[in-house]
A = this chain, B = another copy of it.
């Protein structure tokens, strides 16, 4: 019989029953990402229930120089929450830190623990007639701490901003185990460096977000949703400028879907209903929302679409008459994602460029991709109103997954080189994690890398926070 690992004994004593998982079976789901692209090992999985427990655990790890991989809902796309192969680090799951600490409708704020499921935060706000606007595919599983640590985006950014923009205050356990109580609810504060900002999007490499005070918004009393077809991506960009100029205050989502991305969804995902007959054009899903009960937002959308058609920005349009039809339109957008998951090997690029350059970017990127592998299925879609495109490439018929993926490095390099020429970002909302970490050396300036290193070194000198991620 092995003598017990004294570190594990101390963690067990600290976290009690259910707080420390050690068997291969119980740890398995924490050691790989949901897509199955990353798998690692860990000494144990810790599941603390309070900030005090986290602080004590981090102090213990600092003493023993044990690395910590914080993990939320484990829905990330870049392996940021998966431990390395070494097995020397621990996974710190925030899942039992899931209390809504307070909701204040008159203050338009909510204070939640890091392990709250995003949908639960949305629901807690809705209960007091308020909106927490962060919304993304994984919202039923992902946790707010992970959303903040990755500065999540999603489908409402054009109106409400990224996760960063929704934060009023944070509670953070620093790499030495001290707790920084920055859980404030003020909207203006100019009394020093905005340290809080550093932790948002840091992927847990500077400390662990244990709770957050977040902004709430008034609920939209009306929504109006339309699917429109456009001549090409440039027309979609022009339409955005036209819509923003006329309706800027009430555009909540402005999503672009290329023709082939919709075609694939239609082919592969049952229940995808395309309301225009044949799929012959790119499309935009636009949703408006506002707090007013009157006048009718649908009438307004209708008038703007009529005008857009007259001006030649759009080919055709349908407006959702009721909630069922609205959901059917959104199901197309969701099916586009789903189809790319089930349709075969794909290479995802989560890029952003200046909004007005999206169409030019695609033209140049398409040509570069075709030069490497002419048959590649190019299936872009994304948040056009944020300049954020999921420029995804898929295995063409007649090539197997492995043969296709042999081109991955060349294709990604070509796409990201073009992104750089446009002054864009090679990871707009998914982060670096393990998948994109080394690309930062290619695409970030040496000055920026150096400043990042200085911050990392001064905050986490022993490099114990999420080792091997981001830096």
Contacts and interface: CB of A to CB of B under 8 A. Distances in A.
A436 B192 CA distance: 10
18 contacts: A107-B354, A107-B356, A108-B241, A153-B188, A178-B447, A189-B352, A190-B201, A190-B430, A191-B426, A191-B431, A192-B440, A192-B452, A193-B198, A193-B455, A249-B292, A295-B295, A451-B459, A454-B458
A246 B454 contact: no
Copies of this chain, whole number: 2
Interface string A109-120: 100000000000
A396 B153 CA distance: 52
A129 interface: yes
A165 interface: yes
Interface in A364-411: 383, 386-388
Interface string A279-298: 00000000000111001000
Given A192-B470, A197-B198, A447 B180 contact: yes
B459 A192 contact: no
Given A191-B436, A356-B106, A218 B248 contact: yes
Given A151-B190, A237-B106, A428-B188, A247 B292 contact: yes
A117 to B, nearest CB: 21
A425 B443 CA distance: 38
Interface in A9-59: none
Contact of A187 (B195, B355, B448, B451): B355
A257 interface: no
A65 interface: no
A79 to B, nearest CB: 14
A424 B169 CA distance: 11
Interface in A298-324: 300
Interface residues on A, range: 35 or more
A363 interface: no
Given A354-B104, A357-B107, A443-B191, A184 B448 contact: no
A184 B291 CA distance: 33
A445 interface: yes
Contacts of A217: 248
A174 interface: yes
A85 interface: no
Contacts of A123: none
A432 interface: yes
Contact of A246 (B107, B291, B445, B458): B291
A186 interface: yes
A90 interface: no
Given A186-B428, A249-B249, A291-B247, A192 B107 contact: no
Contacts of A164: 194
Contact of A185 (B150, B180, B354): B354
B189 A425 contact: yes
A392 to B, nearest CB: 16
Q: Which 9 A-B pairs have the closest CB atoms?
A: A218-B248, A189-B425, A107-B356, A188-B428, A197-B197, A454-B458, A106-B356, A185-B354, A186-B352
Interface string A62-93: 00000000000000000000000000000000
Contacts of A447: 174, 178, 180
Q: Which of A105, A151, A423 has the most CB of B within 10 A?
A: A423
Given A244-B218, A447-B174, A354 B190 contact: no
A295 B293 CA distance: 13
A300 B295 CA distance: 9
A233 interface: no
Nearest to A431: B190
A346 interface: no
A388 B423 contact: no
A181 to B, nearest CB: 7
A230 interface: no
A134 to B, nearest CB: 13
Given A180-B445, A194-B164, A195-B452, A187 B388 contact: yes
A455 B452 contact: no
Contacts of A182: 448
A272 interface: no
Contact of A424 (B186, B386, B428): B186
